[in-house]
């Protein structure tokens, strides 16, 4: 599903766990007393930062300098490299965190088209602008073109439309930035933290992402200005968008995929449904009789696997498909150890039920085998 014909699974574009390594979990645990204190202090500092952002004019150098210092105290540090071309009024970046637009705004005052219906003062403070995106794509493009002709503030676009890890591939870029302007300056963004805590995970809420920004000692957002791209005369907006995506992907040493933000939204829904189903399964255990029926069905498809092996594995997995996968992967086979108690009389009364299950399934297995043999003999005699 990528431009270089090397397919990348959709899930590899996202981080699935906030803290993936045991070492990082230990460090977060040890740091947490300090982290919660820092978080509370930064809440009050964040309110002051909000008021400063409201009071100072957006395009002034003073506002940018003050906000960069205050955001550094909030643990948000932005490092930039490369040269900004002030003549280009449209900027495009990859999307790796909930505060990407803030990071860009701290080094270059800009506005981001908003799809939310929020008060004007909040929209202005956080660098959003209402370009009529809720009214449709055509209105967004029309107002975007009008803005770059009448305003000095550039437009920031995040054409992926969803946050990714930025480690393996980019989502397919939306074409609306290419429709708004023929000249776009790309930006590559990536995040570094002293403790390996991912800036976002699939399906995370914005406030949970912001919590980790304020909880951890610091988050460094590396911003790199890339050379300006200009649309060729015979180049379509789709091809221009692909070239834009490729330039950012090459700088990050990753790929450009054909997965879209709609695919990402579907992945979030599937993950949510899986979590709900798993939670429901834990709250409502399966009826043992139902598990017995499932074991018999699996036995029909995999006759070499002992019934007792299948039944005991179902007690562990609680899932038909997972047990099937374990059989296919070879984790369950006809030589699996199952009946350590068979032929012995247990002295511990807690083992009696286990012994009963063993004898029961051995009897079922034996009767089933005898029944199949008799059926085969009857079929053979009928054919003769």
On whether the CB atoms of residues 197 and 89 are closer than 8 A, the answer is no
Pick the residue with more confidence: 128 or 141?
A: 141
Q: Where are the domains of the chain?
A: 10-14+77-197+218-270, 285-375
Computed over every residue of the chain, the mean pLDDT equals 84
**What's the pTM?**
0.70
pLDDT in tens, 32-85: 999 999 999 999 998 888 787 777 777 778 888 888 999 999 999 999 999 999
Looking at 163-167, 208-212, 249-253, 372-376, which range is the least confident one?
Answer: 372-376
pLDDT band at 384 (very low <50, low <70, confident <90, very high): low
**CB neighbour class for 308 (10 Å; exposed up to 12, middle 13-18, buried from 19):** buried
**CB neighbour class for 234 (10 Å; exposed up to 12, middle 13-18, buried from 19):** exposed
* CA distances from residue 138 to 93, 132, 133, 143, 237 in whole angstroms, order as listed: 22, 9, 8, 9, 14
On whether the CB atoms of residues 260 and 4 are closer than 8 A, the answer is no
Q: What is the pLDDT of residue 1?
A: 46
pLDDT band at 122 (very low <50, low <70, confident <90, very high): low
SS3 of residue 322 by DSSP: helix
SS3 of the chain: helix, strand, coil, percent, to 5? 55, 10, 35
On whether the CB atoms of residues 87 and 94 are closer than 8 A, the answer is no
SS3 of residue 216 by DSSP: coil
On whether the CB atoms of residues 284 and 276 are closer than 8 A, the answer is no
Has residue 93 got a pLDDT over 80?
Answer: yes
Q: How far is CA 192 from the centre of its chain?
A: 17
Has residue 345 got a pLDDT over 60?
Answer: no
Has residue 175 got a pLDDT over 90?
Answer: yes
């Amino acid at each position: 599903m990528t431009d270089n014909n090397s397919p990348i699974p959709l899930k590899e574009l996202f981080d699935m766990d906030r803290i993936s390594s045991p070492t990082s979990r230990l460090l977060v645990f040890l740091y947490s007393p300090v982290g919660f204190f820092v978080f509370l202090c930064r809440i009050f500092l964040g309110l002051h930062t909000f008021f400063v952002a409201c009071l100072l004019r957006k395009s002034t150098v003073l506002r940018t300098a003050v906000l960069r210092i205050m955001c550094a105290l909030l643990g948000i540090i932005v490092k930039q490299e490369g040269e900004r071309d002030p003549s280009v009024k449209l900027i495009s970046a990859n999307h790796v965190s909930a505060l990407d637009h803030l990071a860009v705004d701290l080094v270059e005052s800009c506005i981001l088209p908003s799809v939310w219906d929020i008060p004007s003062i909040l929209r202005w403070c956080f660098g959003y602008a209402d370009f009529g995106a809720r009214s449709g794509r055509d209105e967004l493009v029309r107002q975007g073109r009008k803005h770059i002709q009448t305003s000095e503030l550039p437009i920031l676009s995040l054409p992926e439309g969803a946050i990714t890890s930025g480690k393996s591939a980019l989502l397919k870029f939306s074409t609306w930035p290419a429709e708004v302007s023929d000249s776009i300056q790309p930006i590559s963004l990536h995040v570094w933290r002293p403790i390996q805590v991912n800036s976002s995970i699939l399906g995370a809420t914005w406030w949970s992402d912001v919590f980790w920004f304020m909880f951890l000692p610091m988050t460094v957002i590396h911003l790199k200005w890339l050379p300006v791209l200009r649309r060729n005369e015979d180049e379509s907006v789709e091809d221009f968008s692909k070239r834009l995506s490729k330039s950012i992907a090459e700088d990050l040493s990753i790929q450009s995929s054909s997965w879209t933000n709609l695919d990402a939204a579907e992945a979030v829904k599937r993950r949510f449904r899986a979590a709900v189903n798993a939670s429901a399964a834990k709250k409502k255990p399966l009826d043992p009789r139902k598990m017995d029926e499932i074991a018999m069905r699996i036995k029909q498809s995999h006759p070499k696997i002992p019934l007792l092996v299948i039944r005991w594995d179902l007690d562990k997995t609680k899932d038909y498909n997972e047990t099937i996968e374990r059989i296919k992967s070879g984790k369950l086979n006809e030589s699996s150890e199952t009946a350590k108690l068979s032929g012995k009389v247990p002295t511990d009364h807690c083992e009696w039920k286990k012994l009963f299950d063993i004898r029961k399934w051995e009897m079922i297995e034996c009767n089933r085998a005898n029944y199949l043999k008799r059926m085969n003999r009857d079929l053979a005699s009928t054919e003769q």
